[in-house]
A = this chain, B = another copy of it.
Amino acid sequence: MDGLHDLGGKQGFGRVIHPWPPHDETWEPTVRAMTACAMRNHIYNMDEQRHAIERMEPRHYVAAAYFERHLTALASLLVEKGLTTREELEALAGGRFQLSGPIGPGREAAPPQRFEIGETVRVKDDYVAGHVRAPAYIRGKTGVVVAVSPPYPFPDAAGHGMQAPMEPTYDVRFRARDLWPDSCDDALNHVGVFQSYLERVSAT
């Protein structure tokens, strides 16, 4: 989805706070452990969690720290999976508990096709309402495959609890100046791209 979480290349942000000031919030390790627990118990998978974070109300997403995003996803998925309700959570918490927005339909993977290392590929001009792991900054852009991964579950299906076929991802190398012409630092940008997001570029 074209959400505010898709931050790559967005402008107006400032200096990175580095080094990051130490802080010690006891609720954060608890959220980390509970998230691991929910996934080990197969209440949801990693892509469902990521999509639940993406579905956070945009103002909430932008304001929330990392583990608040995880907590919101966890609570939202527990509600969606029927383990609790918002009302119960709010009663237990003694206050308002903002959850993620509703989930829509996922989508199937594209028919299998293989790309070779060294091959020039294009990222499809796809607009996906649900979970998708192609960042907007590579949409429609052309790059070269530099590496291939073992197969993973296709996230656009897995993120919606659908049966997800396994497919490889490709580390695709783009030139920054092809992504943001005249408006970037020179670099080679690599993105891990699922096979279904790619199309062949005919030799020119």
| A interface residues (Cβ-Cβ under 8 A, vs B) | 1-5, 9-14, 54-59, 61-63, 101, 125-129, 140, 180-184
Identify which of B1, B59, B180 contacts A62 (C-beta below 8 A). Answer: B59
Q: Is the interface of A mostly helix, strand, loop or mixed?
A: loop
Known: A129-B11, A181-B125. A59 touches B63 (CB 8 A): yes
Q: Which residues of B contact A181 (CB under 8 A)?
A: 125-127
Contact check, B125 vs A10: say whether CB atoms are below 8 A apart. no
* 16 sampled A-B residue pairs with Cβ under 8 A: A2-B9, A2-B10, A2-B11, A4-B4, A4-B62, A10-B58, A11-B129, A12-B54, A12-B55, A12-B61, A12-B101, A58-B62, A62-B63, A126-B181, A127-B184, A140-B140
Q: Which residues of B contact A126 (CB under 8 A)?
A: 181
